[in-house]
Structure 1
Amino acid sequence: MSTDPRFAFIKIFVDDLVTEAVFYTSTFGMSEKARLAFGEGADALEEIILTTARDDDSNFILWRYLERSTPPAGEATLGFTVADVEDIARKAEINGGSIVQPPKTMPEAGVAVAFIADPEGHVIEVVQYL
């Protein structure tokens, strides 16, 4: 398995997870891969991970905040899986980006996660599997 960064997922924020999941599974033949809930306070959220039957496909993730308003439609979160989330966060800053949320280990989910932004402010979630 390669340790090179891989485009792995895209996320959109929604108000109604079930309605949106039904839309994407019914319209595009996607299937539900997982449902997760995590975070606390204003960062608490739940997500549904959708995928297609293709072995090489990336995930499409629906997110819903539990205690704050849904961001307006039009912006998405890009996601990359990487070998070293700390290294990628450093590289982002060196290359003109910024760290939105520093790397955080989430043992219950088996990942370390950071949120970075490109030079124009587009948010990128960087995930390292533990």
Structure 2
Amino acid sequence: MAVGQRFAFTKLLVGDLEAEAAFYSTALGLVVKHRVSGGEGLDAREEVILCAADHEEPSLVLLHRPHRARPEPGETVLGFVVDDVEQVVRAAEDAGGAVRVAPRAVPQAGVTVAQVEDPEGHLVELLQYR
């Protein structure tokens, strides 16, 4: 069966794989579907593959390179559409994240947006359609 070309997932380089997996599971409801490890030396890697609770396809893959320096955040912005921005912001804080931009309405776009940082400082933008 041909699948065709499409965007499949985002892979985020992280320092603390378990803390990051816990954050995205707790704050955004993603589910760990698979864990993969392999390679040796500088090529060693560990991955946690996360999916939306009601989907089988991966949406976010957390990649940890145990023998390389911890990556600096800022290389990407992850975007999530959520049902309740205020609730997700609270969940993100409870899960070890920090609020960068508090929820604010953008009436001309018909949305409410907020930005949080995960425990390592990676930026997550939250969008709630009104």
Shorter-chain TM band: 0.5 to 0.7
What amino acid does structure 2 have at the position aligned with 1:25? S
Task: Give the aligned partner of residue 18 of structure 1.
Answer: 18
Q: In structure 1, give the amino acid aligned to 2:66.
A: L
- 8 A Cα contact 1:15 1:64, kept in partner: yes
Tell me the alpha carbon deviations over residues 10-65 of structure 1, each in whole angstroms, 9 at most, x when there is no partner: 01111111111111000011110111101221111101011112437542011110
Correspondence for 1:64: 64
RMSD of aligned C-alpha atoms?
Answer: 1.8
> In 2 relative to 1, CA 32–58 (structure 1 residues): closer, same or farther, beyond 3 Å?
closer
Q: Which runs of 5+ in 2 are unaligned?
A: 77-130
Aligned residues of 2:25 and 2:31 also touching (Cα < 8 A): yes
Match of 2:44?
A: 44
Flag the 1:64–1:56 CA change in 2: closer, same or farther, 3 A: closer
The equivalent residue for 2:74 is 74
- The answer to whether the Cα contact below 8 Å between 1:7 and 1:58 also exists between their aligned partners in 2 is no
- Between the two proteins, the alignment pairs up a number of residues equal to 76
- Which structure carries more strand by proportion? 1
Counterpart CA distance in 1 for 2:36 and 2:57 is: 20
Partner of 2:120: none
One-letter code of the match for 1:68? R
- Mapped contact 1:45–1:65 kept (Cα < 8 A): yes
**Greater Rg, structure 1 or structure 2?**
2
CA distance in 1, matches of 2:56, 2:47: 21
State, as a whole percentage, how many aligned pairs show the same letter.
41
Per-residue deviation at 1:3? Answer: 3.1
TM-score, normalised relative to structure 1: 0.52
Kindly provide the amino acid, as one letter, of the partner of residue 5 in structure 2.
Answer: P
Specify the SS of the correspondent of 1:7.
Answer: coil
- 1:71 CA drift (Å): 2.1
Which whole-Å CA distance do the structure 1 matches of 2:31 and 2:56 have between them? 15
Moved more, 18-27 or 46-55: 46-55
Mark the runs of 5 or more structure 1 residues left unpaired by the alignment: 77-130
* Alpha-carbon distance in 2 for matches of 1:66, 1:58: 22
TM-score by length of 2: 0.52
